[in-house]
Amino acid sequence: MPTHPRTGESALGFRRDGRPIWPIKGGSGEGGEGGTPPAADPAGAPNTDPAASPAAPPAAEQQLAEATTRADQAAAERDELRAALDAVTRALNPNGGEAEQDPAKLAAAVAERDRLLADHAAELRSARVELAVARAAADAGARGDRLLNSRSFLASVGDLDPTDVAFESKLTAAITAAVTADPDLYRAAPAGPPRGGAEFHGAPAGERRAATLHDAVAARMSGA
């Protein structure tokens, strides 16, 4: 038998094609030259099953729930505000169409209405104050016309509220202070003594006509 040139072992026999059969340690001696070891399974074969998604942490779930709650509340408040604006629009303009239900236009209309109401209220308050000044000036011995033409005096009573229970006392104090500060301007002139004798206007007494029938009869009876 031939000897293997490297191992020095003798061949076990010959194959049908004439090639020698060499012994293999650990083998049955019937394998081919060198043999082919069986392929070993890979140790770490990857798992083809899809990995499960990691569970969300409790804090993230709570934040998501709170955000959802806030969004729902904001939507509800928006709907309530829109309903309120629609109600005000219908109250202000019951015959208006849907085109006039714009919240921006409604807000502008409400602001303009409030401005007009404030202007009218200010004008009414000023008129009531001026009327009260004219009445109180006569009782305080002051000239109401000059007080009402004085910017400084009007500024001093500009903040008075005619509906206040202390309005009259505050107004009287303001008038008194103005007269004391400038008596020559604001103090009313005292009434002069009554004139003596009869006053003659127009034609002499002999030519005067009686104003009433009673006066004519009295003049006739007295021989005038």
User: Which tens digits make up the pLDDT trace of 43-87?
Assistant: 545 555 555 555 555 655 665 666 677 677 777 777 787 787 777
CB atoms closer than 10 angstroms to residue 137: 23
- Give the DSSP H/E element, type plus range, for residue 134: helix 103-139
Average pLDDT, the chain: 71
Instruction: Please name the helix (run of DSSP H) or strand (run of DSSP E) that holds residue 131, with its range, or none.
Output: helix 103-139
pLDDT in tens, 164-206: 888 889 998 989 998 888 888 888 776 656 555 555 555 454 4
pLDDT surpasses 60 at 37: no
183: its two tokens: 């008596």
Q: What is the DSSP string of 64-118?
A: HHHHHHHHHHHHHHHHHHHHHHHHHHHHH-TT--GGG--HHHHHHHHHHHHHHHH
Phi, psi of 13 (to 5 degrees): 170, -165
Location of structure tokens 């650990």: 26
What DSSP element (H or E) covers 14? strand 13-14
Instruction: Tell me the two tokens of residue 131.
Output: 């009327």
Helix (H) or strand (E) holding 13: strand 13-14
The three-class DSSP label of residue 23 is coil
Interatomic CA distance for residues 157 and 130, integer angstroms = 9
What is the percent of the chain where pLDDT is above 90?
0
Model confidence band, residue 208 (pLDDT cutoffs 50, 70, 90) = low
Is the pLDDT reported for residue 223 higher than 50?
Answer: yes
pLDDT score at 123: 81
Q: 20 or 169, which is more confident?
A: 169
Which residue would you say has higher pLDDT here, 159 or 42?
Answer: 159
Per-residue pLDDT, 32: 47
In this prediction, residue 216 carries a pLDDT of: 61
